[in-house]
């Protein structure tokens, strides 16, 4: 009976996909048949605008179709084209989401793929939310200032693409995976186009002869970096000021934190001396529609629980009594429990603006557990300070958006710092651990899939060392900076001290793929016995040892647009170089 249900579901799924694809073909036919009009029903006089707008899109025909209804409006602006392109993407992602909602997999007969589909629903809903936010931003922004919102739009659109691909790659059933991938083709192509167009916003506006206002933020960041290239990291620490827009109440709160007399909203304590004995219980007390910082103090102790800071829980600041004292631990893993990588996380931060300080996030599944995440973040503008993130394979999952890590200890074996977001790890200790027999260590595995999307990971002013158990085997067990999880994987190791455990090759090919031809792996001003680059793996066609001008792009000011949000976290950071 269960087998019949699955077969019926697959037939229904294929029919839905067929209807979607058929609708596209019918629309194309209508466009071509439109009397007196060119391709996509666009008048000949409007084709120049369409061609100009879609010149940066990878799927130009799809792009032209998505804005065809706007193109014939002769008063339409570039802003109207961008709005239409994102709106078309939203409509297709809605269809993808509905397709997944209609996909029924019995939990009792196929628990893993059932979970993967549930994950997929959540991620596509997150994609919808980001697209709706993008539409609101475009709608509320004046045409001549659109350039200044490009970075935020690109941040969201890159996350939309990451959610789409994560959705399908976690599904193991070939039948379901193929059907859903086919049903998402329009959505992924439109998202791809939107990313490429937004990434070239300046060129696009120039092509339409639109004069923009000066980008003061980037100009200030450039000036700051130029003035401080030769200064010490102490002078670059941004700890004594907050942006003018930052609420006065939050400024006082973070100032109190620095003085050591911060008063939390709630206290968690294993011994019952707080309002809650569990972190999950404390998070449930988060007030609806709360806007200010919500402060949770977690006293010393071992908290064996799976924690999620929900998407609606924004601006949560969680602090403990110190890494190694306040410990959040779990042991969920893929190998023994057969659950999706996302769901293996001991701690997940989804709400925007999450900040953590003085906490250990741990997954104890060990190397035998394979994928076993200790900390997963899809929290935009998040900062982790004075924390320890401990695991083996897939320890730290920087899933989406902008993330900053400072003064942390991060440990693992295979791909233990991985994700599709934009992360900077600064002034931290990176510890390679002893893997299983015949395994290797790869510190990073970045998942950037499109050349012009936001994404990648930077290790700045870090120390890369072996754990005690690995030390006597460090020349036998190969340890690499990383390997490319996706085609445009971007990883930078700069101003860091590299131990002798690192393989002279530096970077490892992802077996079975050709990503070494397109990925971007860079090093800058590293030191230590592992820093010599003359024997690096030459299979990586774009590998380079950067000079100071190019390396500056990967410092906090430009890589994370740090001055616009990082001071508000209260976490110290270097805006530019640290050496």
Coil/strand/helix, residue 348: strand
pLDDT 10s digits, 175-192: 999 999 999 999 999 999
pLDDT 10s digits, 361-395: 999 999 999 999 999 999 999 999 999 999 999 99
What residues does 348 pair with on adjacent strands? 308, 376
Provide the token pair at 209.
Answer: 């002869």
Which entry of 130, 151, 386, 394 is annotated as an active-site residue? 394
Provide the token pair at 526.
Answer: 């590293």
149-158 mean pLDDT: 97
- pLDDT of amino acid 41: 58
CA atoms within 13 A on the CB side of 32: 7
The mean of the pLDDT values for the chain is 88
Rounded Cα gap, residues 575 and 551, in angstroms: 13
Asked if 338 and 111 count as a contact pair (C-beta separation under 8 A), the reply is yes
Phi, psi of 274 (to 5 degrees): -110, -175
Helices in 210-329 by DSSP H: which ranges? 216-228, 233-236, 248-259, 279-283
Asked if 556 and 573 count as a contact pair (C-beta separation under 8 A), the reply is yes
The CATH class, in words, for 246-375 is mainly beta
Rounded Cα gap, residues 379 and 348, in angstroms: 9
Residue 153 neighbours by CB under 8 Å, 6+ apart:
134, 137, 138, 198
- pLDDT of amino acid 244: 43
**Residue 80 annotated in active site:** no
- pLDDT of amino acid 250: 56
Which entry of 119, 415, 446, 561 is annotated as an active-site residue? 415
The count of other CB atoms within 10 Å of the CB of residue 356 is: 31
Asked if 250 and 291 count as a contact pair (C-beta separation under 8 A), the reply is no
For residues 268-283, one letter each, b for 16 or more C-beta atoms within 10 angstroms of the residue's C-beta and e for the rest, the string is: beeeeebebbebeebb
Asked if residue 108 has pLDDT above 80, the reply is yes
Q: What is the Rg, in whole angstroms, of the alpha carbon atoms belonging to the chain?
A: 24
Rounded Cα gap, residues 361 and 343, in angstroms: 15
Asked if 498 and 530 count as a contact pair (C-beta separation under 8 A), the reply is yes
**Residue 240 annotated in active site:** no
Rounded Cα gap, residues 133 and 156, in angstroms: 8
- pLDDT of amino acid 75: 82
Asked if residue 241 has pLDDT above 50, the reply is no
Quote the percentage of the chain above a pLDDT of 70: 83
- Domain 2-207 coded CATH 1.20.140.40: yes
Asked if residue 67 has pLDDT above 60, the reply is yes
| Helix or strand (DSSP H, E) at 19 | helix 2-33
Query: Which sequence spans correspond to the domains of the chain?
Result: 2-207, 246-375
226 CB burial (10 A radius; 0-12, 13-18, 19+):
exposed
pLDDT 10s digits, 330-359: 999 999 999 999 999 999 999 999 999 999
């Amino acid at each position: 009976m269960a087998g019949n249900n699955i077969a019926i579901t697959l037939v229904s799924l294929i029919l839905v996909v067929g209807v979607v694809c058929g609708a596209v073909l019918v629309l194309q036919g209508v466009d071509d048949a439109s009397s007196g009009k060119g391709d996509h029903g666009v008048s000949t006089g409007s084709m120049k605008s369409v061609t100009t707008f879609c010149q940066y899109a990878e799927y130009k025909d799809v792009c032209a179709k998505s804005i065809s209804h706007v193109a014939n409006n002769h008063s339409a602006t570039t802003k109207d084209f961008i709005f239409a392109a994102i709106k078309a993407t939203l409509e297709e992602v809605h269809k993808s989401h509905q397709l997944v909602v209609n996909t029924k997999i019995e939990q009792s007969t196929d628990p893993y793929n059932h979970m993967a589909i549930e994950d997929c629903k959540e991620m596509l809903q997150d994609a919808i939310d980001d697209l709706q936010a993008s539409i609101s931003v475009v709608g509320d922004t004046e045409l001549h200032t659109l350039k200044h919102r490009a970075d935020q739009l690109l941040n969201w659109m890159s996350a939309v693409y990451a959610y789409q691909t994560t959705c399908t790659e976690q599904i193991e059933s070939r039948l379901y995976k193929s059907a859903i991938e086919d049903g998402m083709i329009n959505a992924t192509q439109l998202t791809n186009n939107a990313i490429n167009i937004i990434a070239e916003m300046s060129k696009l506006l120039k092509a339409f002869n639109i004069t923009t206002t000066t980008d003061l933020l980037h100009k200030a960041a450039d000036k700051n970096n130029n003035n401080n290239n030769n200064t010490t990291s102490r002078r670059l620490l941004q700890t004594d000021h907050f942006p003018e827009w930052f609420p006065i109440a939050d400024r006082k709160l973070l100032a109190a934190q620095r003085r050591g007399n911060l008063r939390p909203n709630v206290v968690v304590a294993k011994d019952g001396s707080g309002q809650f004995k569990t972190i999950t219980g404390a998070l449930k007390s988060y007030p609806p529609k709360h806007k200010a910082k919500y402060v949770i103090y977690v006293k010393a102790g071992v908290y064996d629980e799976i924690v999620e800071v929900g998407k609606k829980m924004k601006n949560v600041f969680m602090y403990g009594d110190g890494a190694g004292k306040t410990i959040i631990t779990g042991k969920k893993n893929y190998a023994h429990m057969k659950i999706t990588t996302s769901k293996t996380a001991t701690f997940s931060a989804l709400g925007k603006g999450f900040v953590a300080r003085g906490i250990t996030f741990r997954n104890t599944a060990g190397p035998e557990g394979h994928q076993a995440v200790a900390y997963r973040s899809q929290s935009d503008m998040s900062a982790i300070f004075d924390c320890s993130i401990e695991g083996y394979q897939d320890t730290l999952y920087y899933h989406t958006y902008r993330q900053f890590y400072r003064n942390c200890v991060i440990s693992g074996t295979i791909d233990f710092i991985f994700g599709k977001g934009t992360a900077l790890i600064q002034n931290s200790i990176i510890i390679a651990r002893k893997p299983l027999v015949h395994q290797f260590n790869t510190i990073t595995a970045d998942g950037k899939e499109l050349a012009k999307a936001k994404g990648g990971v930077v290790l700045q002013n870090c120390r890369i060392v072996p754990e005690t158990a690995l030390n006597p085997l460090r020349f036998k067990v190969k340890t690499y900076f990383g390997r490319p999880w996706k085609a445009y994987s971007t990883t930078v190791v700069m101003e860091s001290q590299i131990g002798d455990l690192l393989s002279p090759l530096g970077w490892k090919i992802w077996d079975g793929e050709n990503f070494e031809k397109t990925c971007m792996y860079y090093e800058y001003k590293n030191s230590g016995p592992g820093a010599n680059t003359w024997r690096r793996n030459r299979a990586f066609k774009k590998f380079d040892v950067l000079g100071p001008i190019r390396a500056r792009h990967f410092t906090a000011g430009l890589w994370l647009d740090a001055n616009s949000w990082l001071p508000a976290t209260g976490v110290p950071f270097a805006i530019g170089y640290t050496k």
